[in-house]
Chain A
Amino acid sequence: MTTFLRDTATVLTREARPSLREPVGLLFEMGQPLLFLFLFGSLLDGAIGSSWQWFVPGILVMMCLSGPMAAGYTLLVELIGGSMERLMVTPVNRTAMLVGRTMKEMAVLLCQSVLIIGLAVPLGFRLHLPGVLAGLALLVLFGVGLGALSFVLAFRSAPSGTLFYIVTQTLLFPLLLLSGVLLPMDSGPGWLRVVGQLNPVSYVVDAERALFAGRLTDPSVLYGTAAAALVAAVGLVLGNRAMRRGV
């Protein structure tokens, strides 16, 4: 157990250092969500009851999709470059490799989320603290699963990497658009709502909206948590197996 913790710390420290050295990079990664927040948020202001309350959780889920999904990219680069091979020959615990990397991605996600919330408050976003905390926890749960799945994809894609780009590029936008992150799905045609119901992201978005509005006992919270937990469980099991099997 102590070696597991030590190894997790080793991996986490390694991964976190570049971000700590150049924290501005995290801001650049947030360019798109920030743009969406200000553009759509302002456009929608007034169109929907309280647009910020509706829109901020959506933006957070959007970041939760793009960030962890791209997490596999850094792994892929290391798989292609050879440094992953070097790490795989060291006695570092394989699960620690997964956990350490995931923890770093989650730390980034949390920082970015707090920043978005902080920027939205002056614009009129009302803060329900317990709801926000629960919402962030749900976000991390979902992110853990997505990040781990992205690692699995990176292993499968090496050494060419093509598969990784194809899958992330074709998945990201449909998952986003068909979840009601940016626009409400309720007003869409029937088939669109059916597709939305098959999309696990929809449940997470609904749960986030309920939580950020302070409705902690809303049924959607239960569904959203279940969806996120399922993704997390599948992701961790597959991710752990991929790490064990190695390059």
Chain B
Amino acid sequence: MIHARGLTRVFTMKKNDPVEAVRGLDLDVAAGQLVAFLGPNGAGKSTTLRMLTTLLPPTSGTAVVAGHDVRREPAKVRGRICYVGQRSSAGDNFLVRDELVTQGRCYGLPPREAGRRADELLDLLELRPMARRKPGTLSGGQRRRLDIALGLVHRPVLLFLDEPSTGLDPRSRAEIWSHILRLREAYGTTLFLTTHYLEEADSMAERVVIVNGGRVIADGTADRLKTDLAGDHITITTRTEPEAAACAALAGGAAGAEVTTQGTTVRVRVADAPAALPDLLRALEGAGIKATSAETTRPTLDDVFLTLTGRSLTDDDVPS
């Protein structure tokens, strides 16, 4: 569905100061996949989406989207995809329902069909009471639902969503997700979306692609990435610091374990924490060290990100 090779985009605002937003991105997405595109602010997510949706010509590289090259046959690509941008999709001067009808007409639906489709989506996304209002008068969550409705008008085979759930309360986020998943269920739509909510990507996406500085730095299922890149952790607390040091030495003896000690707390990285914990506790007991608490943790995607870049994704500041 998406095949990108060496996709690059350089912005030149001022002379001699080019911004390389996306650098040599390779990406293949199969039909029907749900891919989450993650990365910190300024990583190049929106720029990539804008290139894949024909909005922005790549500086170099190629992209074939929904069977057509974005540069040579943009019109053919446009007819098969839809894009819900990071900003609001509906014009403020127009009524909610009118915008939905217009969108249908833009994709070539006959007037009556476009009207029917608009009504269907108003009901589906619970926007019926706002049908005759201007988008500016809607709440943030209602607006985002309208954006998504606009993206669903022509039942695209491939839908791009740029931060569909940012700024919404947990309930609206859950609602948006249920709509997205329902769409996928019904039409087998391929979904490519960006998000800042790691838990969302973790629980919903089959595949997570992490970008940083315009490059893909990790790609796989959330579980794979976590196991490969971050690993499980065992955290043991002892009574005294010398005991902690002894515990660390013991744990460090096991193959492949990475140990960090902080005061009386020892953190051990292992492949499978629940399986390794009983052995470690037995070894401690044998050495006469008493653990006051022991705990295993599965990594989060943020841990993956931290391992890869040395920076947490939840810190929102962008390095210059």
Contacts and interface: CB of A to CB of B under 8 A. Distances in A.
Interface stretch (A73-81, A113-121, A211-219): A73-81
A10 B106 contact: yes
B78 A91 contact: yes
A130 to B, nearest CB: 37
Contacts of A6: 105, 108
Interface in A67-88: 74, 77-78, 81-83, 85-88
A92 interface: yes
Interface stretch (B88-96, B183-191, B231-239, B297-305): B88-96
B53 interface: yes
A82 B83 CA distance: 11
B83 A89 contact: yes
A83 B106 CA distance: 13
A14 interface: yes
B55 A89 contact: yes
A83 B78 contact: no
Interface string B282-310: 00000000000000000000000000000
A89 B78 contact: yes
Contact of B83 (A7, A13, A18, A86): A86
A83 B75 contact: no
A89 B94 CA distance: 19
A83 B55 contact: no
Contacts of B105: 6, 10, 13
Contacts of A83: 88-92, 99
Contact of B102 (A3, A10, A21): A10
Contacts of B54: 88-89
Contacts of B15: none
Interface string B37-57: 000000000000000011110
B81 to A, nearest CB: 7
Interface in B68-118: 75, 78-79, 81-95, 98-99, 102-103, 105-108
B176 interface: no
B150 interface: yes
A82 B106 contact: no
A90 B93 CA distance: 19
Nearest to B76: A91
Contact of A14 (B53, B56, B98): B98
A13 B102 CA distance: 8
Contact of A81 (B82, B92, B102, B150): B92
Contacts of B89: 82-83, 85-86
Interface in A194-239: none
Contacts of B55: 85, 88-89, 246-247
A128 interface: no
B27 to A, nearest CB: 19
Contact of B106 (A74, A77, A87): A87
B85 A91 contact: no
Contacts of B83: 85-86, 89
B87 A81 contact: yes
Interface string A31-54: 000000000000000000000000
Contact of A85 (B87, B94, B99): B87
Contacts of A87: 106
A83 to B, nearest CB: 4
A86 B85 contact: yes
B82 to A, nearest CB: 7
A246 B84 CA distance: 17
Contacts of A77: 91-93
Nearest to A83: B91
A29 to B, nearest CB: 14
Nearest to B92: A81
A91 B79 contact: yes
A3 B81 CA distance: 18
Contacts of B86: 82
20 contacts: A6-B105, A10-B102, A13-B105, A18-B93, A18-B94, A82-B86, A82-B87, A83-B89, A83-B90, A83-B91, A85-B83, A85-B89, A86-B83, A86-B85, A88-B55, A89-B55, A89-B78, A89-B83, A91-B107, A247-B56
Interface of A: 3, 6-7, 10, 13-14, 17-18, 21, 74, 77-78, 81-83, 85-92, 246-247
Given A3-B108, A10-B106, A247-B56, 8 more contacts: A7-B106, A78-B91, A82-B86, A86-B85, A86-B90, A88-B55, A91-B78, A92-B106
